[in-house]
Amino acid sequence: MISAAPTPINDAVILMAGVGSRLGGGIEKPLVPIAGRPLVSYIFDALEKVGVRTVHTVLGATGERLAADLRRLLPEGMRLNPILNPNWKKQNGISVLCAATHLRQPFFLTMGDHLFEVAILEALLAESDHVGVSLAVDRKIESIFDLDDATKVKTAGTRITGIGKTLSEYDAIDTGVFLCAPTVFDYLNRARREGDCSLSDGMRLMATAGKARAIDIGDAWWQDVDTPEMLERAEQESGRLRS
């Protein structure tokens, strides 16, 4: 029996509305150089390799300037759709909601300060049911560079049962790479309290409804780049991202 080909995903949302105060250096995090290339260039490359054609970037205080830089870095044949989040000081769930009117089909969602191998996107394509949200998780907990800062995930098989930075019991780590159906926007709206919510808040509601799946990344590598120490680690491991 021949397996069906993965459903193509044409859109991706990248969250980059924050100011990157923990990293310092006076440069937007997506533009921080990693092995001589801006961090976001690696994200663009990975998305291009799995067929993404439109990249929706959710931007904050430096939106116009950053959008101009991103256009110069985007691979030929891909389209940039910059989206301004006027409430960029709020949590990242609000940034995701800013993209709601731009998407009608499943889409990749990632962070503008996360490096990851294309194999993670391929795993999501191969294993996602395209109904709720599939989160790429890392079960190699001993390899996580800054475990205290990581978002923890509790699973039951492929079903997510808990998510958050303060979980006391967990068996996986959130890589910040998702494949989402548009229904994610409904759950984020339900999760809002006083006009604010995190992506994890929405994920917890989806988990309760049985619509949040964990996809194991296996041996694939990723790294959040949120501090100078994480940046140094990313530099050391950046060879994994080269073609």
- Cβ atoms 120, 135 nearer than 8 A: no
Distance in angstroms (rounded) separating the CA atoms of residues 33 and 27: 10
Pairing mode, strands 133-138 and 212-216: parallel
3-state DSSP assignment of residue 196: strand
Contacts of 148 (CB under 8 A, 6+ apart): none
CA dist., res. 123 & res. 5, Å (int) = 13
**DSSP structural state of residue 213:** E
Provide the β-strand partners of residue 58: 15, 83
Contacts of 168 (CB under 8 A, 6+ apart): none
Digits of tens for pLDDT over the chain (243 positions)? 445 557 789 999 999 997 665 666 568 889 999 999 999 999 999 999 999 999 999 999 888 899 999 999 999 999 999 999 999 999 999 999 999 999 999 999 999 999 999 999 999 999 988 789 999 999 999 999 989 999 999 999 999 999 999 999 999 999 999 999 999 999 999 999 999 999 999 999 999 999 999 999 999 999 999 889 999 999 998 888 865
E strands in 60-146: 79-84, 107-111, 114-116, 133-138
Q: What is the DSSP string of 65-84?
A: HHHHHHHHHSPTT-EEEEEE
Query: What tokens does 24 get?
Result: 């310092």
Gap between the Cα atoms of 42 and 46, Å rounded: 6
